[in-house]
């Protein structure tokens, strides 16, 4: 818990991470409902394909049906929630094609961000991203080693991760590119799929290697590095999403099994190094 809590320290909170958090600060009741439901989905408290009852959510959130209905409508517009005849409203239940398409859009946007970063980022911005990448790897490594497994800490880690990638886009100086990343919610869906699929451990220097590559000043090297980074683990996510949306079994039990599996994989990796 201490490890994840460090990302809230103002000294290491990147501007993009702060902006990402601030952009979803509750104001109206509908916004409060939107943030609350969205965060439950991203934390894995509301599983993929899980039913969403307006009345139940209204009671839990202590508000009327109207703001909850507005929040669900907004989430449906963003693709996190879906409504089906005779089924009702539920958390999105993505098909493999849906997931691949989201990844293709993310790859297109982020590879262009990497190219522009390589051409335009200042030495100060490169140093900032190196520091962020070091912190990101520390947090993810702790996560995969079983040091962090509560939902709130995992939420904070994924929030920091989204902020890191948004910061890369910010450093390009292309505001439309940054806005496109946010509007298309590609980082949010990457976050959602990671949580639902319980992807296997990342390489220990996964984000540091990415930042080193895009900081060399070569757009082609940066492009290749980002495409590899985005695609990494996609097949594992596709395999993991199936059971997550099948509706069979308890999500909490699945998370515990996945955490145990990650610890075993981390120990195996450690033995190979020695």
Task: Name the token pair of 116.
Answer: 């522009």
Residue 201 has what DSSP assignment? P
Identify whether residues 184 and 59 lie together within a single domain. Answer: no
Give the contacts of 22 (CB within 8 A, at least 6 positions apart): none
Identify whether residues 29 and 74 lie together within a single domain. Answer: yes
Boundary (domain end) residue, out of 60, 75, 91: 91
Model pLDDT for residues 202-261, shown as the tens digit of each residue: 999 999 999 999 999 999 999 999 999 999 999 999 988 865 555 444 444 444 445 555
For the chain, first and last CA: distance in Å?
A: 28
pLDDT band at 1 (very low <50, low <70, confident <90, very high): very low
Supply the DSSP string of 39-78, one letter for each residue.
Answer: HHHHHTSS-TT-B--HHHHHHHHTS-HHHHHHHHHHHHHH
**Weakest mean pLDDT among 71-75, 121-125, 209-213, 264-268:** 264-268
Model pLDDT for residues 78-109, shown as the tens digit of each residue: 999 999 888 899 999 999 999 999 999 999 99
Give CA separation, 64 vs 55, 59, 98, in Å. Answer: 8, 8, 33
Q: Give the SS3 label for residue 103.
A: helix
Boundary (domain end) residue, out of 60, 91, 122: 91
Q: What is the CATH number of the domain that holds 244?
A: 1.20.120.530
Identify whether residues 69 and 35 lie together within a single domain. Answer: yes
Boundary (domain end) residue, out of 75, 91, 107: 91
Give the Cα separation of 180 and 193 in Å (integer): 20
Identify whether residues 52 and 131 lie together within a single domain. Answer: no
- How much is the pLDDT for 264? 58
Residue 81 has what DSSP assignment? E
Number of compact structural domains in the chain: 2
Are the beta carbons of 262 and 200 closer than 8 angstroms?
Answer: yes
**Residue 12, pLDDT above cutoff 50:** no
Identify whether residues 126 and 78 lie together within a single domain. Answer: no
Reference 192, options 245, 137, 142; nearest CA is 245
pLDDT band at 270 (very low <50, low <70, confident <90, very high): low
Average pLDDT of the chain to the nearest whole number: 83
- How much is the pLDDT for 26? 58
Identify whether residues 33 and 8 lie together within a single domain. Answer: no
**Residue 11, pLDDT above cutoff 50:** no
Q: Which domain holds residue 187?
A: 2-19+95-273
Reference 185, options 74, 61, 54; nearest CA is 74
- How much is the pLDDT for 252? 43
Identify whether residues 116 and 86 lie together within a single domain. Answer: no
Buried b (16+ CB within 10 A) or exposed e, 5-24: eebeeeeebbebbeebbeee
Q: What is the pTM assigned to this prediction?
A: 0.78
Identify whether residues 121 and 63 lie together within a single domain. Answer: no
Q: What is the CATH number of the domain that holds 39?
A: 1.10.10.10
Give the Cα separation of 219 and 166 in Å (integer): 18
Model pLDDT for residues 140-194, shown as the tens digit of each residue: 998 877 777 778 888 899 999 999 999 999 999 999 999 999 888 888 898 888 8
Identify whether residues 30 and 131 lie together within a single domain. Answer: no
**Residue 200, pLDDT above cutoff 90:** no
φ/ψ of 205, rounded to 5, equals: -110, 30
**Residue 201, pLDDT above cutoff 50:** yes
Hey, how many other C-beta atoms are within 10 angstroms of the C-beta on 37? Answer: 24
């Amino acid at each position: 818990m201490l490890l994840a809590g460090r990302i809230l320290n103002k000294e290491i909170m990147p501007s993009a991470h702060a902006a990402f958090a601030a952009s979803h600060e509750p104001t109206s009741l509908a916004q409060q409902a939107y943030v609350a439901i969205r965060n439950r989905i991203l934390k894995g408290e509301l599983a993929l394909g899980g039913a969403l009852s307006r009345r139940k959510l209204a009671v839990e959130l202590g508000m009327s049906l109207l703001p909850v209905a507005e929040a669900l409508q907004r989430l449906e517009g963003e693709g996190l929630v879906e409504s089906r005849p005779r089924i009702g409203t539920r958390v999105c239940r993505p098909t493999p094609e849906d997931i691949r398409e989201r990844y293709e859009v993310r790859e297109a946007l982020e590879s262009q961000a990497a190219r522009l970063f390589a051409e335009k980022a200042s030495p100060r911005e490169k140093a900032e991203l190196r520091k962020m990448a070091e912190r990101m790897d520390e947090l993810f490594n702790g996560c995969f080693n079983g040091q962090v497994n509560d939902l709130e800490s995992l939420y904070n880690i994924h929030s920091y991760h989204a902020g890191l990638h948004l910061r890369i886009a910010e450093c390009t100086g292309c505001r439309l590119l940054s806005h496109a990343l946010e509007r298309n919610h590609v980082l949010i869906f990457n976050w959602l799929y990671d949580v639902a699929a319980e992807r296997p451990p990342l390489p220990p220097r996964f984000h540091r290697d990415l930042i080193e590559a895009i900081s060399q000043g070569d757009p082609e090297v940066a492009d290749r590095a980002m495409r590899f980074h985005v695609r990494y683990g996609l097949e594992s996510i596709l395999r993991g999403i199936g059971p997550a949306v099948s509706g069979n079994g308890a999500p909490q039990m699945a998370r515990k099994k996945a955490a145990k599996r990650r610890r075993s994989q981390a120990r195996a990796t450690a033995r190979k190094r020695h």
